[in-house]
Amino acid sequence: MRDRGEDAFRVLYRRHTPVLYRLALRLLGEGAGAEDVVQEAWIRAAERLALFRFESSLRTWLVGILLNCVREARRRGSSGDPLSAEEAASPPVVGDAIDLERAIGGLADGYRRVLVLHDVLGHTHREIAALLGVDEGTSKSQLFLARRALRRRLGPVTRGSP
Amino acid sequence: MTEDEELTPEEEAALRALPREAEPPPALEERVVGALRDRGLVARRRPVSWNSLAAGLVLFAAGLVAGRWLPARPAHPAEPVYLLLLYAGPDRTTGDEAARAHEYGAWAASLRKDGRLLGAERLGSEQRVLGEGSLAELPAPRGYFLFRASDMQEALAIARTCPHLRHGGQVAVQPLDPV
């Protein structure tokens, strides 16, 4: 991507966009809003590539840019209902997975964001702190509260049991 | 219902099992590529044309990779843009023109490597003046460079390294109007 070749960009796009797109769907919901933020994220990534210092993986860096685009989209009010997007994006599976997606979609934005980054995507608190511009303690406390809120949404039945 | 901070193994497995990827709509890739092209952030696929070089595509461009001009990486998207116009200087028929062209091309390449260069062209000698002003003839620039710099001071510092000055020419530096 640094040499600005289109073919090189398409390789990167295809490698990283599925994760970015899924993250945007989970955080924003409505399909068109997710596409817009993914597009905006790639534009900013291309503009800021000179600033990428390899202090994180390229994927983490792209996620950080996407999170900023999502935040701005939410402020503009151009997001939809995460629940409806998960219904549209998920295959017609009956059972726990849909309930879990619905429950995540119903969380408050901040809870949903940290829970998805940590428990779904596997980012560490250190990475999340850098991505969200908070300290690690805040990330941990937000995750604790997010998990508690998720459990309350799911109800008393243990989810994900075999 | 547990209030523990940690996930149960079942909870952790269920969350980690959620899909991490979603196939984006195929049209999104073309939208993104198109948007990057419009902003000059990716180079269009363009066949190398030696005929187009012979037709006077910039001898400066001869110093660039494989005769194909790639859009520059901006130093910073917010930095202002400056136009460097080249005046006077050696005639094309005097001295070692190929060596000079290589020198100018190398200078352009160094600007691009720093993420500054937005454009560079040599201009032809024919000039036609239009309009109702009193000037029948205006100074005819020999070429131009378009590059990013943080301010006029930096733009001048860059301009002072332009090889055109070493060959007896003059240069003018002007910022693009940001409005």
Task: Return the residue in A118, A147, A154 with the most chain B beta carbons within 10 A, the one to mutate for interface testing.
Answer: A147
| A144–chain B nearest CA distance, Å | 5
Which H helix or E strand runs over B169? strand B169-175
Q: Tell me the pLDDT tens digit for each residue of A130-158.
A: 999 999 999 999 999 999 999 888 875 44
Compute the residue count for chain A. Answer: 162
Judge residue B179's burial from the number of C-beta atoms within 10 Å of its C-beta, 0-12 exposed, 13-18 middle, 19 or more buried. Answer: exposed
ipTM (interface predicted TM): 0.79
Are A160 and B76 in contact (CB < 8 Å)?
no
- What are A13's two structure tokens? 């796009």
Tell me if chain A has a CB within 8 Å of the CB of B172.
no
For residues B10 and A30, which has the higher predicted lDDT (pLDDT)?
A: B10
The separation between the first and the last C-alpha atoms of chain A, rounded to the nearest angstrom, is 44
pLDDT tens for A7-44 read 888 888 999 999 999 999 999 876 669 999 999 999 99
Q: Out of A9, A25, A122, name the one closest to residue B42 (CB).
A: A9
Per-residue pLDDT of A38-83, as tens digits, reads: 999 999 998 887 666 666 678 888 999 999 999 998 888 755 544 4
Closest residue of A to B44, CA-based? A6
Confidence (pTM): 0.54
Q: Left (φ > 0), alpha (ψ -120 to 50) or beta: where does B91 sit? A: beta
pLDDT over threshold 50, residue B56: no
Which residue would you say has higher pLDDT here, A32 or B161?
B161
Chain A touched by B45 (CB under 8 Å): yes
Is the pLDDT higher at B108 or at B94? Answer: B108
* CA A36/CA A47 separation, integer angstroms: 17
* Burial state string for B7-18 with b = 16 or more CB within 10 A and e = fewer than 16: beeebeebbeeb
